[in-house]
Amino acid sequence: MTTAHDFSFTAIDGKALPLSQFKGHPVLVVNVASKCGLTPQYEGLVSLYHDLKDKGLVVLGVPSNQFMGQEPGTNDEIASFCSATFGVDFPLTEKTDVKGDTAHPFYKWMKQELGEPADPLWNFHKLLFGKDGQPIMAFGPRTEPTAPEIRQAVEAAL
């Protein structure tokens, strides 16, 4: 049986980022962009991560330029922006496609497992998988990272 732990991304610094390194941790995967009206959600993601990382939560940011070109920068520019502007200290992947035929295999698999709600419609779409790598839930772009439904789902997964 396939789990999220079977997939690997490339980290924003170019190193391998296998999801298997997060076994035993729930992971909130969020496709992000630096020039989107929803970009201030980074604040909530950092807050959620800091609140719950000691209990095991991992937040994984996946920069994507698929939504109206709102992530135009290089990986270095994205990393600098996220760190300097929002204090992002959770892992980030390199710029990655998250929808359509060119979507990263993890995103295709999550859509297969959770259906349409897992297909990103815009930046800051959130996908949660559990400690065992099993898909749990998808949250739309307008659901703030600090929303009660995300907090409850994450805490239940911890």
> Do the Cβ atoms of 26 and 57 come closer than 8 Å?
yes
SS3 85: helix
The 10s digit of each residue's pLDDT in 57-99 is 999 999 999 999 999 999 999 999 999 999 999 999 999 999 9
82 tagged catalytic:
no
**Helix boundaries (H) for the chain:** 41-52, 75-86, 105-114, 148-157
> Where do the domains of the chain lie?
24-157
Residues of the chain with pLDDT under 70: none
Q: Which of 11, 36, 114, 147 is catalytic?
A: 36
The overall average pLDDT reported for the chain is 98
Which superfamily does 24-157 belong to? Glutaredoxin (3.40.30.10)
Write the DSSP string, 25-47. S-EEEEEE-TTSTTTTHHHHHHH
What separation in angstroms does the CA of 14 have from each of 9, 40, 77, 96, 98? Answer: 10, 25, 14, 12, 18
Residue 125: count other Cβ atoms within 10 Å of its Cβ: 27
What pLDDT sits at residue 59?
A: 98
HSE of 26, CA atoms in CB hemisphere, 13 A: 25
pTM: 0.98
Looking at residue 19, its amino acid is L
